[in-house]
Amino acid sequence: MKIKEILSVLEEMAPLAYAEDFDNVGLLVGDQNSEATGVLVCHDALENVIDEAIEKKCNLVVCFHPILFSGLKKITGKNYVERSIIKAIKNDIAIYAVHTALDNHQHGVNKIFCDAIGLVNTSVLVPKQNFIRKLITYTIPENAEKVRNALFEAGAGNIGNYEDCSFNSKGIGTYMGNENSDPQLGERFEFVETPEIKIEVTFEKHLESKILKALFSNHVYEEVAYEIYELQNQHQNIGLGMIGEFNTPMEENDFLAVVKDKMQSDGIRHSAFLGKPIKKVAVLGGSGSYAIKNAILAGADAFLTADLKYHQFYEAENQLLLADIGHFESERYTKNYIVDYLRKKILNFAIILSEENTNPVKYL
């Protein structure tokens, strides 16, 4: 099996188009055309993890955090990033990062977080913006079903819990071909007036080339008329953070005790207790201070995230309980999810969960 075959499975799990613009995801080191010997899944591709990959004969390391985040002008081994990259290259080990591609996925980091602490009825906290586009095209009635189905097959027409969604309206199309035309209906220089179906579908922007290929391959016209628009609609199934609720509310102390236990946190920093039960909870794995207002607007009783600064605790504004459970802790089950996903998709192949604890934060 080639490494690129495994990468295609990873992109099914977490499409790279879902990642934030600032992020550095995908294949960071290595040749995707190399034969894969095994996959080691970790949180951070540090030097000790590369050593583990060498020991376990894995030439693909799949990490959550990208070890290469910003550009390197020199690779001399002077810091932990450069040492990891040098060791990986010397030992022909590829490194692939998922990070915000999985953060933004509806079954990704934050759904894993919600499931771990027992939240139900979950939805995205900060929906992704400017990610939905609309295609409008026109064809004769006899061709409409074929075009529509091809667009659906290419990924168009998915809205929330529904698929194969489209809007179709009847109208009259007109055209006249010149000397170089080859019209489906009528003759050159003939003014043609014919019934047409207008088809409208939405799609995620990274699918545009696939959508257009399906359109052109299944349309009967020599010149296909179509329009593409960028929509302002939020994507309700893609975005950062999640909000859910407990079946039974619990007191604040009990709530934090459950979170500490389930997320295996050695310490939780939190804002002042408000003396009200916790039922509706927002979560955002990793650094999530930017979403405090989103959690408040969503009506959360508590917001769990990490990397909060002193003054950011004031932003709770006595409207919710704000808790920092630790960066690593808030994402700790992500690598388990990746391993489980790969094992279901790739049978009879070494998919190994790293045994290295790469959390740089220690507690007294």
Residue 65 counted as an annotated binding residue: yes
Closest CA to 277 of 243, 302, 314, 305: 302
The order of strands in the sheet holding 60-65 is 26-29, 94-97, 60-65, 39-44, 351-353
Joined together, the tokens standing for residue 282 give 């927002």
Residue 115 counted as an annotated binding residue: no
Residue 103 counted as an annotated binding residue: yes
Residue 44 counted as an annotated binding residue: no
Residues 6+ apart with CB under 8 A from 15: 101, 105, 206
CA 306, CA 304: separation in Å to the nearest integer? 7
The order of strands in the sheet holding 132-139 is 167-175, 192-204, 132-139, 226-230
**Could you tell me which residues are annotated as the binding site for a divalent metal cation?**
65, 103, 327, 331
Residues of the binding site? 65, 103, 327, 331
